[in-house]
């Protein structure tokens, strides 16, 4: 099933995100037990980030996406990045996805690699989308940034650039993680004023360890509300208390989003079914109401 049907029929989609394992030689099958547990949460789809571990670039993503679809019976959304990939590699991954029956792709530029040859690759996610659209085989999703992409001069410029993804055929957008819902609502209002009407799933990552927040902020530059920083200061050095507080914060954040009419929740589960299960238990009643 192409995810277009999901957003046409469901008020609030619920999805999870996983990434190809890096340990054990990057063997994709080591993720399968976690996926078995996540299946019990009834996600509308599971996205798989683009991974180069364990073989040719992107093939671990293909293998995991195939398992999600053909073994678990859940729709996968396979990530595909382009900035560090040569066109022939992109086409190989697309062909492999097609052969496995995977119909949904999240097209991303990806992070720039110092050793890459940019002249050989697509420069923007919208460029990649145009290539994917030409195949006619895939539904495409795109990424967006409620607080602006780190390389954009302003949020306004970033929103203008989203038009290229819309024109290239994106069916819905998934946000980068954020911790302040007011930033998300402001972003949505700006999108709608600019005539961008695509469904936008809110990306939420439960922060359950102090080390996790330090790494996450350095990569995303997400702003931290006072309530969030107080939580870290109070519980950061107590492992169990920090875990519980982080789950509680994510649950309250998601409940506020759903009650405010969000198009969907995309949970960055970090391959941890325990985290995903705890969050799901805290929002299950609202998801049932919105189905």
Confidence of residue 183 (pLDDT cuts 50, 70, 90): very high
**Greater confidence, 137 or 146?**
146
Average pLDDT, the chain: 90
Q: Region 169-193: what's the mean pLDDT?
A: 96
Instruction: Taking residues 105-125, report their average pLDDT.
Output: 67
**Cβ 8 vs Cβ 2: under 8 Å:** no
Structure-token match 């396979």, residue found: 78
The answer to pTM > 0.85 is yes
Please give the Cα distance from 238 to 220 (Å, whole number): 25
Dihedral angle over CA of 37, 41, 46, 51, nearest 10: -30
Residues with active-site annotation: 17
SS3 (DSSP) at 291? coil
What's the longest Cα–Cα distance across the chain?
A: 52
Q: Which pLDDT belongs to residue 63? A: 96
Residue 24 is predicted with a pLDDT of 76
Say what percent of the chain tops pLDDT 70: 92
For residue 40, CA distances in Å to 35, 102, 205, 239, 289 come to 9, 21, 19, 26, 18
Q: What is the pLDDT of residues 90-109, one digit of tens each?
A: 889 999 999 999 999 999 97
The beta strand positions in 109-249, using DSSP E, are 139-144, 172-175, 200-204
Q: What is the mean pLDDT of residues 232-259?
A: 97
List 204's β-bridge partners, or say none: 267
Q: What are phi and psi of 42, to 5 degrees?
A: 55, 50
pLDDT of residue 4: 95
Segment 192-238, tens digit of pLDDT: 999 999 999 999 999 999 889 878 877 777 899 999 999 999 999 99
279 versus 217: which is more confidently predicted?
279
CB atoms within 10 A of CB 215: 10
Report the C-alpha gap between 30 and 165 in whole angstroms.
34
Domains identified in the chain and CATH numbers: 4-290 (3.20.20.220)
For 268, the 3-state DSSP assignment is strand
| Model pLDDT, residue 69 | 99
Q: Mean per-residue pLDDT for 140-168?
A: 89
Q: Is the predicted pLDDT of residue 53 greater than 90, yes or no?
A: no
Q: Which of residues 181 and 156 earns the better pLDDT score? A: 181
Residue 138 has pLDDT above 90, yes or no: yes
pLDDT tens for 7-52 read: 999 999 999 999 999 887 789 999 999 999 999 999 999 999 997 5
Predicted local confidence at residue 79, as pLDDT = 96
Give the span between the Cα atoms of 6 and 103, in whole angstroms.
Answer: 13
Split at pLDDT 50, 70, 90, the class of 117 is low
pLDDT band at 111 (very low <50, low <70, confident <90, very high): low
List Cα–Cα distances, 223 to 38, 219, 238, 288, in angstroms: 29, 12, 23, 31
Structure tokens at 39: 């299946």
pLDDT for 54 equals 43
Mean pLDDT (whole number) for 157-168 = 90
The whole-number average pLDDT for the span 233-259 is: 97
Q: What count of other Cβ atoms lies within 10 Å of the Cβ of residue 96? A: 19
Tokens of 172: 């819905």
């Amino acid at each position: 099933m192409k995810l277009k049907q999901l957003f046409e029929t469901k008020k609030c989609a619920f999805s999870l995100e996983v990434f190809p394992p890096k340990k054990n030689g990057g063997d994709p099958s080591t993720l399968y037990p976690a996926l078995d547990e996540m299946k019990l949460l009834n996600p509308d789809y599971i996205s798989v980030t683009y991974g180069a571990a364990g073989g040719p670039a992107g093939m671990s993503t293909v293998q995991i996406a195939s398992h999600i679809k053909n073994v678990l019976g859940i729709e996968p959304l396979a990530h595909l990045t382009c900035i560090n990939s040569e066109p022939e590699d992109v086409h190989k991954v697309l062909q492999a996805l097609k052969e496995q029956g995977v119909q949904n792709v999240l097209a991303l530029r990806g992070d720039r690699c110092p050793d890459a040859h940019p002249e050989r690759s697509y420069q923007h996610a919208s460029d990649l989308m145009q290539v994917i659209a030409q195949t006619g085989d895939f539904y495409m999703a795109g990424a967006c940034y409620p607080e602006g992409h780190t390389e954009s001069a302003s949020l306004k410029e970033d929103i203008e650039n989203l038009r290229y993804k819309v024109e290239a055929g994106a069916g819905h957008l998934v946000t980068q993680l954020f911790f302040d819902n007011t930033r998300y609502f402001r972003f949505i209002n700006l999108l709608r004023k600019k005539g961008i009407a695509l469904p936008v799933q809110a990306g939420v990552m439960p922060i359950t360890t102090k080390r996790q927040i330090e790494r996450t902020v350095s990569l995303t530059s997400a702003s931290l509300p006072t309530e969030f920083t107080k939580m870290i200061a109070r519980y950061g050095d107590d492992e169990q208390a920090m875990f519980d507080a982080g789950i509680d914060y994510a649950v309250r954040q998601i409940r506020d989003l759903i009650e405010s009419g969000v198009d969907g929740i995309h949970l960055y589960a970090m391959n941890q079914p325990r985290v995903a299960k705890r969050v799901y238990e805290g929002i299950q009643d609202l998801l049932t109401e919105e189905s």
